[in-house]
Amino acid sequence: MKRVITYGTYDLLHYGHINLLRRAKALGDYLVVVLSTDEFNWNEKQKKCYFPYEVRKAMLEAIRYVDLVVPETCWEQKRTDIHKYDIDIFVMGDDWKGKFDFLKEEGAEVVYLPRTPEISTTQIKADLKK
């Protein structure tokens, strides 16, 4: 039973996110998504979420690839999350390439998957403004 974990905001959910989640799940049997809380997004990423945490969580839980959604409240929780959720593989889009290699020290395989290039929440918001 290979357990996979990934992190993100997942606000204005789009097919780039789905592509990531599908490929992450394909690496194992169980996928944990650690979802940034509204406070974490605002305080640490200066992102103001369109949908609040509970809505973003419910949307992710409706995706067939996702087995568990838990809160991301700080940058530092990744090391403990690897053990807390008994993780074998840590996955992120390659915009984070190299940033989380230290998790190999916790015994996890670290995989960066190519982002879906042409879509982003920023792009969606810009297009809607036109």
Q: Rounded to an integer, what distance in angstroms lies between the CA atom of residue 40 and that of residue 30?
A: 25
Helix (H, G, I), strand (E, B) or coil at 47: coil
The enclosing H or E element of 61 equals helix 53-61
Partners of residue 30 on adjacent β-strands = 3
Nearer Cβ to ligand C2G (3/37) = 37
Residue 104: active-site member: no
Using CB under 6 A as the binding rule, whether residue 37 contacts ligand C2G is answered as no
Residue of 3, 16, 89, 103 that binds ligand C2G (CB under 6 A): 16
> How many CA atoms lie less than 13 Å away from 52 in the CB half-sphere?
1
Contact 16, 43 (CB under 8 A): no
Residue in 2, 45, 84, 104 annotated catalytic: 45
Using CB under 6 A as the binding rule, whether residue 116 contacts ligand C2G is answered as yes
Q: Rounded to an integer, what distance in angstroms lies between the CA atom of residue 85 and that of residue 71?
A: 13
Residue 47: active-site member: yes
Stretch that binds ligand C2G, among 52-60, 62-70, 81-89, 91-99 (CB under 6 A): 91-99
Residues in region 57-86 near ligand C2G by CB under 6 A? 72
Chain contacts with ligand C2G (rule: CB under 6 A): 6-10, 16-17, 20, 36, 45, 72, 92-93, 95, 115-116, 119-120
